[in-house]
Amino acid sequence: MGEFTPYDSGPSLSDAMLTEEGVTLTWQTSDVTTLPLLWLRDHCACPECRHPQTRERLYVPLADINEAPDISLQNGHIYLHWKDGHTSAFHSGWLYQRRPETRLTSPVPKSAPWVDNFFPERILHADLLTPAGEKAWITALLRDGLALVTEAPLMEEEVSRLAERIGPLRTTNFGARFNVRSKPNPNNAAYTAAGLPLHIDLPNWQQPPDIQLLYCLKNEASGGESLFADGVRVVNALRHQDSNALTILSETPIDFRFQDEATDITVRAPVITLDSSGNLVEIRLNNWIRDTLHLPASQMNAWYRAYRTLWQLFHSEAHQLEFTLRPGQMVAFDNRRVLHGRREFDPNSGARHLQGTYLDRDMLASRLRVLARHS
């Protein structure tokens, strides 16, 4: 039963008997569970039911099982001989891992709201190139929504090389990798010297990029300090301060739009998206990509009041984190959770050059699970 998670050391079965609910299994550890017949048939791992190379399921559970199979135990493992002539063999350790009573665990951390005086975890570039360092960096990034790499080489495209250790770069209308510096005829505020209020990137996309990496190659200009704020923390504060504002912003879709000579990308979605338990799924706060507010006139003033309250919370000292990104540092953050911005800088005082790219959160979680197999 090809699996990447080891199970050979699991306990052997001491008994298996048919019951009304299915097959009741007892292990030598005295653990007991009952699995329905259809579940057992659906999880048969023979080459007819699972592709031997990909391990993908071939069997489709379209019919109920009306006749119970014959059961045998051999060397502590179970064999089910179905009435249609098919035989399913199950390793006792594999079944033990998958008992319904077993609490599922994952190396992927849950998001944790920032606390007072939060500062992102720092990982040396040299450590990031090791499994332990990479694991620590991804864990911090998925948990806190923000992590910092330090003492990295001043090499163009190093941001792409680091990202590609995780997975393919997420391409947008700005390309797979982009340069952040002041330039003539910009099509985005990031390519100016202006200060950028806190925002997420590309809220006008159906699926905004999950993770953004920003790699500092030069920062000789005065000003330009980086700003960050945690959406989880701020939404919790909004819930406490003005729950009606949270309801308005999470239940009222508005329009976001980016357009230039080559593109016109728009979406209608609420500023805040919550799950069924009220936890933050994503923030879409980006004031310059917010399109015309197309709502009934009777709802507009209430929406603007709610928006103003959220804006003030994000831009308050209690929720903002500020630091200067130095050459050889790379900041990574959850673009759908952590808002980012910068102070105005003087382009005449020195060069400033950052390179950036995006990654999908699924690829970071995947990489963390792979790394956890060997820890």
Q: For the domain with range 121-372, which CATH number is right: 3.60.130.10, 1.20.120.450, 3.40.250.10, 3.40.50.360?
A: 3.60.130.10
Q: Under CATH, what is the fold of the domain 13-97?
A: NE0471 N-terminal domain-like (3.30.2020)
Mean pLDDT calculated for residue range 317-335: 97
pLDDT of residue 190: 67
pLDDT score at 188: 63
Task: Kindly state the average pLDDT of the residues 200-215.
Answer: 98
Query: Residue 2 pLDDT more than 70?
Result: no
Q: What is the pLDDT of residue 192?
A: 76
Question: Where are the domains positioned within the chain?
Answer: 13-97, 121-372
Q: Which whole number is the average pLDDT over 234-241?
A: 98
Q: Is 362 exposed, middle or buried (0-12, 13-18, 19+ CB in 10 A)?
A: exposed
Band (189; pLDDT cuts 50, 70, 90): low
Q: What is the 3-state secondary structure (H, E, C) of 306-326?
A: HHHHHHHHHCCCCCEEEECCC
Model confidence at 135, pLDDT cuts 50, 70, 90, reads very high
**HEC readout, the chain:** CCCCCCCCCCCCEEEEEEECCEEEEEECCCCEEEECHHHHHHCCCCCCCECCCCCCECCCCCCCCCCCCEEEEECCEEEEECCCCCEEEECHHHHHHCCCCCCCCCCCCCCCCCCCCCCCEEEEHHHHCCHHHHHHHHHHHHHHCEEEEECCCCCCCHHHHHHHCCCCCCCECCECEEEECCCCCCCCHHHCCCCEEEECCCCCCCCCCCEEEEEEEEECCCECCEEEEEHHHHHHHHHHHCHHHHHHHHHCCEEEEEECCCCEEEEEECCEEECCCCCEEEECCCCCCECCCCCCHHHHHHHHHHHHHHHHHHCCCCCEEEECCCCCCEEEEECCCEEEEECCECCCCCCEEEEEEEECHHHHHHHHHHHHCCC
Structure tokens at 84: 């249609």
pLDDT of 11 > 60? The answer is: yes
pLDDT tier, 185 (very low <50, low <70, confident <90, very high otherwise) = low
Question: At residue 217, does pLDDT exceed 70?
Answer: yes
Is the confidence at residue 82, as pLDDT, over 70? yes
pLDDT of residue 191: 66
pLDDT of the residue at 35: 98
pLDDT higher than threshold 60 for residue 183: no
Give residue 137's pLDDT. 98
Residue in the structure block whose two tokens are 């920003």: 214
Q: What is the pLDDT of residue 194?
A: 84
Q: What confidence score (pLDDT) does residue 181 get?
A: 79
% of residues, the chain, pLDDT over 70:
97
- Cα gap 150→122, rounded to integer Å: 7
State the amino acid at position 137 in one-letter form. W
Region 123-127: what's the mean pLDDT? 98
Tokens of 295: 């709502």
355-369 pLDDT, tens digit each: 999 999 999 999 999
pTM: 0.91
For the residues 168-184, what does the mean pLDDT come to? Answer: 86
Is 80 exceeded by the pLDDT of residue 75?
A: yes
Q: Which of the pair, 26 or 186, is modelled with greater confidence?
A: 26
Q: What is the mean pLDDT of the chain?
A: 95
